[in-house]
Chains A and B, each alone.
Chain A
Amino acid sequence: MAILSLQSVCKEYSTDGQSVRALENVSLDVAEGEFVALVGRSGCGKSTLLHLAGAMDFPTFGTVSIEGLATSGLSDAQQTALRREKVGFIFQSFQLLHTLTVQENVELPLLLAGKPGALEIALERLHWVELDGLGERYPHQLSGGQMQRVAIARALVHAPRILLADEPTGNLDTTTGTVILDLLLRLTRERKTATIMATHSHEAAAVADTLVVLRDGRIAEVTRR
């Protein structure tokens, strides 16, 4: 069964009174343990699709469902609760809080959700991403690859069903990028998350189970491997 389902999704934005359609009639199902790569030019709608998938935004038309629950019509609090339970985000520029230690960064989603045992879980996630012993460091004391691992650990700390990664290797060199992709793939398999990764990189896209090509807000091509 699909964990994430987008059915005939359209998304329009209004800019200076002009309506701009960012996504048009997009349908996509992502199953647990599936790694999907979204590719396409800048402005083709990759980030918009990720935001809809992560319940950060609502579709203008169509339905986005996470484990069968439609995100449309959810209140702000319900959206927040859904993200806390089901969704993990990874960003191109890591987006770590520089005022917090590595371990505190990883704990953060659990603390925001008011869940107990955050420290133990955070240390475990750091072990998953092979950063044992670095929990007390601050982000600026880490390399770019290490920072992205911390971001992945943070995205996984609450055991989300969906992992959304926006250009996770965009700020990394090729070797480090490959390591991060391998890690994402491994964790997707092990944790049975539905992972969607937006990327410009063909090398990155090559590791995915499913390749979705977006063009002008529409799905132009879907390749399942």
Chain B
Amino acid sequence: MAESPKSRGADMVRLELFYRLMVRPLLHEPVRLALMVLAVALGVAVVLAIDLAGSAAAGSFHSSMETLSGDNDLEIVASGGVPESILATLATQPFPLRLSPRMEDFAVDLRTQETLPLIGLDLIAEGRRYATRRSTLQDTSLEKLTGEESARMLEDPQSIWVSAGLGKKPGEHLSFLINDQVRDCIVRGVFPDTSANGHAVLMDIAGAQRALNRFGRVDRILLKLPPDGNLDEWQERLRGVLPAGIEVRPQGTGTEENRKMLEAFRWNLRLLSYIALVVGAFLIYNTISVSVVRRRNEIGIVRALGASRTDVVAAFLGEAAGLGLAGGLLGLPLGRVMADGAVKLMGATVESLYVSSRPGAIELTPHSVALALAIGIGVATFSAFSPACEAMQVSPTDAMAQGRREYLAQMHKGRDLAIALVLAVLGALAAKAPAIAGKPLFGYLAVLLLIVAAAYAIPAFVYIVSRIAAKSLEELFGVEALLASRSLAASLRRTSVLVGALATAVAMVVSVGIMVGSFRQTVVNWMNNQLPADLYVRPAGSPAADRHPTLSPELLEKIRTLPGVAQVDRLRAYEISYDGMPVTLAAVDLTARRARRQSDFFSGRPASEVLEQLRGKNNVIVSEPFTYKHHVKTGDTITLSLGAARAYFRIVDVHYDYGSERGYILMDREVLLKFLPDAAPTNLAIFVAPGANAEEVHREILAAAAGHRILIFSDREIRAEAVRIFDRTFAITYALEAVAVIVAVMGIAGALLALVIDRRRELGLLRFLGAASRQIQKMILVEAGLLGLLANLAGFILGYFLSLILIFVINKQSFGWTIRFHWPVEVLLGALTVVYTATVVAGLYPASIAVRLNPLEVIHEE
């Protein structure tokens, strides 16, 4: 139905009124308005940045190994690789299937140090296919591979094809580190990138096997079904002809597994990003509350002049929505900029802890824009709802009853405290509940309940603490402190909201600080106990949780015979899939000395006793995160697909481990070799002979490793490196904390400004009564300091309890790590000092405004 001109006219009048009564007063306080909009914008920006960066960092691995995987339907995989005999088995079956065997690993470009996926394909077959279907791969060099000249090119182990994004030209020479060997390669052709982050290096499959030193196995066989093929039926049919250890699954399952594995990481980060938004919500609530209190008289007058209750509530919700919209719009570009920084931090963490990844492009999609605006407007209107409803209750006669609102706030202290206690108890109960589908949903609920409980308890807390502190503060800072503390206690509601906002931010700093500090100390203690060898060797290149480059067996023999080396302990790791999730399978020598100072096992038994149980038997040790992810315990039996075989292994103990979140399975090297007869180790632990100098042995190993690219670390260096990676991993949480604190401090500055404006008559009176300018300034600064003190105190208490939930519930249920509680005293003292100082500094501008007020003007204002 068309809108009538009359109703359009009425809408215009309403808009005009909204501008006069709501917008214009806001514009008269531009600094405060700017602070509030910026606070919302920062909250929105953080959520947006984490969302964008999460998609970019976590989504990128999809293309790394799926490069040139085409339009296949199924894939055949096996732990340690699929024996080539499987290809023959499939080829002899009367199946109308297209088979694409692949080698998949990584190569480091020595010039750029970039780690690139290395894909080995049967280029003769693939070349023919691409020649007939140019839409997939448009490179002409591959089309020509069917010719004799090209066939020779293929046989050359130096021949590579690179994706266009790498910017190379045919004929260029490149040096790659593959495992511990440097290989010089010649670019034979360039193929288009399959996506923005799909850079890869392509080799013929035989060349790749040679380069990787892995013969007789391929990493994956991709299968294209006939057009009318049913996925489930074909999986069943293929399983019937393949050995038990070989897995048939839809193509891209590995990518899905990785995505699933990253879910907890992304979830927790996303929730951390919401804290800044919660702080922002407190501040919007405060802004609208202040707005309502300030305009009680106005509301009364407007109501007397004919405004309905709905008009009043709509006006205040409109004000909040306006702030939210402005914050959302400003948050968009801010979030995009922040996402650049976040993606670097997240990308590094994803690579260290989860999966090889190169961050993808950050895409500000219409969905992201809508999300930012919805968050800004949604949070703002939600936060404003309660004060807007209070405004609605103001009757024309009530408008003159000044101070009633504050009186109510004071009267409800006891009731609010009781509610807080109930919520805290509910929070404690929620913390005891188990995870749901691997997510600590009740843990999050417990955090939320505690934050809300704190919000309810804060009025009583502020009242009691400011009363107790008033006398001492007066003695310390004089009459200005008395005035400041009384003023805060008198406007209890406003003070409580401000303290609540800053306390939430402080609690986040404290809780995450304690959690990270405890985790760090736990890891340091664990490493001290874990690294008994003197030197550790691995192939050069940047490490990642799912990359296990190997050392040449001949290098091992050379090192073993060096005079200063007493013993070499080998470790071989594989990336395998267990129960639909990626896991690290590791095997070690059981001969080396492993003199650990204390037990790292759930059973509390010494390592020698536990490791002895592995010798020659189908027994394994699993890491703590593995038990959480797969719901297993000591004594359980797990089934592993190794090569073509499927074997059963008994868990003899569980190991506290902080090396990888994905979890690992450890077995005797000799047992693993029975299933996967590849002797190349991925890491060596070297014990220096008694009397030999470790540095000298280090040099000897380097000399022996001529022609190989390896990295040698002392136990001290490896610890330092682990701590560096640890700190980098948590850098993003520090960044999120910083933003939340900035939002809160900006809120404090805005609120103090409002306080100064509201109390201008009182400040003017003080000048009449003999107060000097600096006394007014001091009073405002003491007020800011008192707010900071109250917030720090409340935030510290709340943060302590939140840290317990983070450590013992959320972390445990998300990642499965046992973290031992530790007070990171220096970090906490430093953080609280910074927050406190920032709060006092936030009072400087309002204080200068207070000093500039003209007492003659303000004293006569009504």
Contacts and interface: CB of A to CB of B under 8 A. Distances in A.
Given A97-B762, A108-B479, A111-B482, A83 B770 contact: yes
17 contacts: A47-B860, A56-B768, A56-B856, A80-B771, A80-B772, A83-B769, A91-B765, A98-B403, A99-B486, A99-B487, A99-B489, A100-B482, A104-B482, A108-B766, A114-B478, A154-B769, A158-B770
Interface residues of B, number: 25
Interface string B479-502: 100110011011000000000000
A104 B769 CA distance: 13
A35 interface: no
Given A57-B856, A95-B859, A98-B403, A112 B769 contact: yes
Interface in A38-65: 47, 51, 54, 56-57
Contacts of B768: 54, 56, 83, 89, 95
Contacts of A95: 761, 765, 768, 859
Nearest to A47: B860
B855 interface: yes
A112 B766 CA distance: 9
B848 interface: no
A76 B769 contact: no
A154 B856 CA distance: 19
B773 interface: yes
A112 B762 contact: no
A112 B855 contact: no
A84 interface: yes
Given A80-B767, A112-B766, 17 more contacts: A56-B767, A77-B772, A80-B773, A83-B768, A83-B769, A83-B770, A95-B761, A95-B768, A97-B762, A99-B486, A100-B482, A100-B486, A108-B769, A111-B478, A112-B769, A112-B770, A140-B403
B408 to A, nearest CB: 14
B770 A99 contact: no
Interface in B259-310: none
> Which of A80, A114, A158: most chain B Cβ within 10 A?
A80
Given A56-B855, A98-B403, A111-B478, A76 B489 contact: no
Q: Which of A108, A114, A158 has the most CB of B within 10 A?
A: A108
A217 interface: no
A31 to B, nearest CB: 24
B181 interface: no
Interface residues of A, number: 27
A112 B479 contact: yes
Interface in B723-780: 761-762, 765-773, 775
Interface in A63-105: 76-77, 80, 83-84, 89, 91, 95, 97-100, 104
A113 interface: yes
Contacts of A113: 770
A91 B766 CA distance: 13
A76 B855 CA distance: 13
A99 B490 contact: yes
A109 interface: yes
A89 B479 CA distance: 20
Residue in B766, B769, B856 with the greatest tally of chain A CB atoms within 10 Å: B769
B765 A80 contact: no
Nearest to B855: A56
Interface in A95-138: 95, 97-100, 104, 108-109, 111-114
Name which of A76, A77, A99 has the most chain B CB atoms within 10 A of its CB: A99
A85 to B, nearest CB: 9
Given A111-B482, A112-B479, A51 B856 contact: yes
Nearest to B768: A89
Contacts of A100: 482-483, 486
B775 A112 contact: yes
Nearest to A56: B856
A109 B768 CA distance: 9
